[in-house]
Structure 1
Amino acid sequence: MSMIGYARVSTTSQDNGLETQKVLLEEAGVTKIFHEKITGTSTKQRAALKECLDYLREGDTLVVTKIDRLARSIFDLNQIVDQLKDRGISIRFLKENMTFEANGKPNSLGTLLFNILGSFAQFERDLIVERTTEGRARAKDQGKHMGRKAGFSNKSMQKALEQYRNREENKMSVSDILKLNGIPKATFYVELKKYETKEK
């Protein structure tokens, strides 16, 4: 009987969002985590999710930080939950504080709440897609270029890490270092953690 976690961020999300999910899953007692960075429009496209579902065994519990991390479609949500329960596998959603026990009796209120939350997740996704499409159309009509802004380079990150290491000597604050190199605070601390791990 193991607690297995699944984490996902969309292709447009920052990597630190994935790290946050991993931390929450580990704090919940998860021993193995499957993760990926892909839009949750269709479960068929998600290799890590398929691998996770295949890995689960009777008596295990699948732990996910939020309902919309598992799927964005209410149909997919119900299908995954029903299939896992039939296999004797429980499902736990941390943010919603909701657990579907494999051998537990059906709870009408819990099932209703699950469907409502799933529907809101799908509705929110549809609104985001609609707003994004409309925004692109307006920008195109106005002759604006739609594309990803150039981000910071690896060289800038290395420079920032070096400046952080010598910050007392250089008399520079973390804020100064980040502004100078154009690096987001959350991204910097993720890289700093990796940097310090290598140094040990």
Structure 2
Amino acid sequence: MNAQRKTTSTAHGKRIGYVRVSSVDQNDARQLDGVDLDKTFTDKASGKDTHRPQLQALLEYIREGDHLYVHSMDRLSRSLRDLQDVVQSLTDKGVAVSFVKEGMTFTGNDDPMATLMLQLLGAVGQFERALIKERQREGIAIAKAEGVYKGRKPVLDAEAAKALREMAAQGIPKTDIAANLGISRATVYEYLKAPA
């Protein structure tokens, strides 16, 4: 695999971007800023697995000769195995994959050093995320022991939670309840499962 250090445009095919942010609140605007693209697929979801709607749509849409641009490897996948599988399936299809932050492009004709770099950078990213999670768990455990940890702030106050349950008891559809209270449908179900 000959990982090119410079992003090159394709002679034919489309220039496609993939953007992922972990939450709806995060800004995705800067990820591929300055990269000229024909089409962009954007997921607002965790990168813990590859079953994301826009990634799946991208994989169905992209064709031989196309060039995929992703801000960084961790935007495509947070698992080394998934990262390798996605890049391999794309390059097998004749798609070039560029990671802008890392400055690397994979084409399927890459040398062993490029394959090693993909594995190494993917493994480092996975290790960093594991360390962050471990520190987070340790911090929560310390805060709980000191009686400071309060957990996540409730989305609804007691009055709104009561209104939610009353609407559900009246048979109002969960989608309408969510829209009415400005919350997600998943949150509606969380409140209905929780003891009143």
> Is this a same-fold pair by TM over 0.5?
yes
CA distance in 1, matches of 2:104, 2:152: 39
Aligned partner of 1:113: which letter? M
Q: How does 1:10-29 map to 2 (within 5 A)?
A: 10-11=22-23, 14-16=25-27, 18-22=28-32, 24=33, 27-29=34-36
- 2:135 counterpart of 1:90: no
Could you tell me which runs of 5 or more consecutive residues in structure 1 were left unpaired when the two chains were aligned.
151-200
- Which of residues 120, 129, 132 is equivalent to 1:116? 120
Structure 1 position 100, deviation (Å): 0.7
How many residue pairs get aligned? The number is: 142
Q: Does residue 141 in structure 1 map to residue 145 in structure 2?
A: yes
1:6-32 deviation line (CA, Å, top 9, x unaligned): 111113x8532x11114x2xx222121
Pairing partner for 1:132 from 126, 130, 136: 136
Provide the residue aligned with 2:41 in structure 1: 34
SS of the equivalent of 1:20 reads coil
Higher relative contact order structure (alpha carbons within 8 Å, sequence separation ≥ 6): 2
Where does residue 52 of structure 1 map in the other structure? Answer: 58
Aligned mates of 2:96, 2:153 — CA distance in 1: 40
Q: TM-score w.r.t. structure 1 length? A: 0.66
Give RMSD over aligned pairs: 1.8
Q: 1:53 to 1:148 in 2, by over 3 A?
A: farther
Paired AA for residue 90 in structure 1: A
TM-score, normalised by the number of residues in structure 2:
0.67
Query: Match of 1:3?
Result: 15
Mapped partners of 2:98, 2:145: distance in 1? 46
CA distance in 2, matches of 1:29, 1:85: 21
The percentage of aligned residue pairs carrying the same residue is: 41
